[in-house]
Structure 1
Amino acid sequence: MSSEAVGTDGPAEDAPESGGVPAADPPGRRRAAGPRPMWKEIPLLVVVALVLALLIKTFFVQAFSIPSDSMQNTLQRGDRVLVDKFTPWFGSTPERGDVVVFHDPDDWLADEPTAHPNPLQKALAFVGLMPSANERDLIKRVIAVGGDTVECHGSGPVEVNGKPLAEPYVYAGNTPCSTDNQGQFTVTVPHGDLWVMGDHRQDSADSRYHQDDAHQGFVPVGNVVGRAFVVGWPLSHWAVLHVPGTFGQPGIGAASAAAPGALGMAGAAPLVLWRRRRRPAGRPRENGGTGERA
């Protein structure tokens, strides 16, 4: 009497031979491998996690630690912010009101102490698992962009293209403009540059105090690492960093529309390529022609 092996669709010849000795596997058939031991899986998972963290830090999002009080009360000393490094790849440039991290343009941090992280901190910072402690970067708010005229007279308000800014984020007890010599100015921002100021106006060595430098206080757009978009730590300080409404008032200037368009094109391109690969050559259009769908 013939029979089939349990759990297979093969013929009786695949069943074990008499005497309990398993039949030899047919040529080309491989036995299913057993699960990989955990001690082999864990190192692989760690390597994959580190590579992903490095890629995310390099191209998408990076954490930065706030080292000073210059952005109070928007940001407190010791806060960790997440910085968007992705949208600049698609042509986005900083806009008025953005809080941005940027590389030191003219040795602004010359008088600041240099951190000395240990090897573990350096390794974790390199892959993005903790904020870097020794990068010479700063964080400020963009007040004006290329082509804008920004000015301070008396204690303020700050004016951009003749429009006064309402700045509720300025540190309580501070005035929007400082009344010292460098705090009184009228400047026009060159194209490709930014004018930045801290929210703690009387405790921020920002563009106002570097007008005698090589870049005259301006920050090249190319120095910008990215836009800070959320305070992620500590959880009690968690907040989304929005662009204040005062920067959208009529007459102050148009916001850049390059980023949404570029992101839309970037999102559409993979879909178009996928559709082209799925459609057989010469498939009729729905409108009666040949080639791609109208």
Structure 2
Amino acid sequence: MASLSVNAQDTIVDIKPMTPSSFNLNSPDMTHPSVTLDTIVVTSNPLLPQANEMATATSIVTGDALTTQTSSTLGDALANEVGVSTDSFGQGASRPIIRGQSAPRVQVMQNGLSVQDASQISPDHQVAVPVLGAKQVEVIKGTSALMYGGGAIGGVVNIINDTIPKEQPKKNISGKVALIGQQATDGYLGYAELNGSIGENWLWSGYYQKTDKGNIQVPHLDTDEIANSWYTQDNGSIGLSYVTDMAISVHHISACLQNMACPFMCIMNAHLIAY
């Protein structure tokens, strides 16, 4: 038979209260090598940034580049920009397409104001703002264009020109003239602009553009041309401003008359823009 015996012993544990003096950082058990962290510099703007100050996908085409391209339509003038193509409707109409989006999803503006013309609803109409008169053209893509309204979900094309004078010119009278010829249609594009001031507060501006293109010539055909492919346009504008240090009053009117032909019918369109 096996027997089991257990001897019990009492164990006494002495528990003492811990005081701040018990944590001796200089003791061997609490000594660790020091580590120096790199300096981190944080810079912040104390003011809330404006929406137009944030990074945007924007490209700018200067007026000199537009004149060099000798394009008579807005779409053709911007066709070489990244993410921009053009929809063509004969010789008369060509609107820009931004990342696959076109009218009415691409907002065309003049000096920050929306251009309300027939080209927004009909592809056979030309944008009623001359390209040769632009100082520069701004192309805004992506979500940055949403700040311009629901009609700009595809992008914004803002044409900057002197149709609305806002500041005193360097000379009392100034202007520019451009004349472009086209051999394939025996046509031409002429543009003339004048700007000036009357006294210290009155400013005025005006332009006139004439486009005349005949039938497109095609060699090695019986007729040597495409019948009913001609296009003409008359575009003019007058602006008057009264400018002071405290306020500005602007009066501006522009008109555009377009005549175009297609193989089976002749279309004449006219629209008036005033603001």
Same fold (TM over 0.5): no
TM-score normalized by the length of structure 1: 0.23
TM-score normalized by the length of structure 2: 0.24
Give the structure with the larger strand fraction. 2
- Bigger relative contact order, structure 1 or 2 (CA pairs below 8 A, ≥6 apart): 1
Computing the radius of gyration from Cα coordinates, the structure with the larger value is: 2
